[in-house]
Amino acid sequence: MSTFQAPKGTYDLLPPHSATYLAVREAISAPLRNSGYGYIETPGFENVELFARGVGESTDIVTKEMYAFETKGGDRLALRPEGTASVLRAALEANLHKGGNLPVKLWYSGSYYRYERPQKGRYRHFSQVGAEAIGAEDPALDAELIILADQAYRSLGLRNFRILLNSLGDKECRPVYRAALQDFLRGLDLDDDTRRRVDINPLRVLDDKRESVRKQLTGAPALGDYLCEACKAYHEQVRELLTAAGVAFENDANLVRGLDYYTRTTFEFVHDGLGSQSAVGGGGRYDGLSEMIGGPALPSVGWALGVDRTVLALEAEGVTLDIPAATAVYAVPLGEEARRVLFAQVTALRKAGIATDFAFGGKGLKNAMKSANRSGARLALVAGERDLAEGVVQLKNLESGEQTAVPLDAVVDEVRRTLG
Residues flagged as binding site for L-histidine:
82-84, 114, 128, 132, 257, 261-262
Residue 207 has, within 13 A of its CA and on its CB side, a CA count of: 19
State the DSSP code for 253.
T
Annotated binding site: 82-84, 114, 128, 132, 257, 261-262
Please list, residue by residue across 311-325, b when 16 or more beta carbons sit within 10 angstroms of its beta carbon and e when fewer do. Answer: bbbbebbeeeeeeee
The torsion angles phi and psi of 359, rounded to 5 degrees, stand at -80, 85
**Edge-to-edge strands of the sheet including 76-79?**
45-47, 76-79, 68-70
| Cα 410 from Cα 391, distance rounded (Å) | 11
Sign of the dihedral through C-alpha 240, 170, 29, 207: negative
Residue 20's alpha-carbon distances to 27, 41, 130, 303, 309, in angstroms, are: 10, 22, 18, 21, 12
Please list, residue by residue across 26-51, b when 16 or more beta carbons sit within 10 angstroms of its beta carbon and e when fewer do. Answer: ebbbebbeebebeebebeebbebebb
| Cα 248 from Cα 267, distance rounded (Å) | 12
CB contact set of 198 (below 8 Å; sequence gap of 6+): 182, 185, 186, 190, 205
> Which candidate, 85, 45, 43, 42, places its Cα nearest to that of 68?
45
In which element (H, E) is residue 402 found?
none
| Cα 181 from Cα 173, distance rounded (Å) | 13
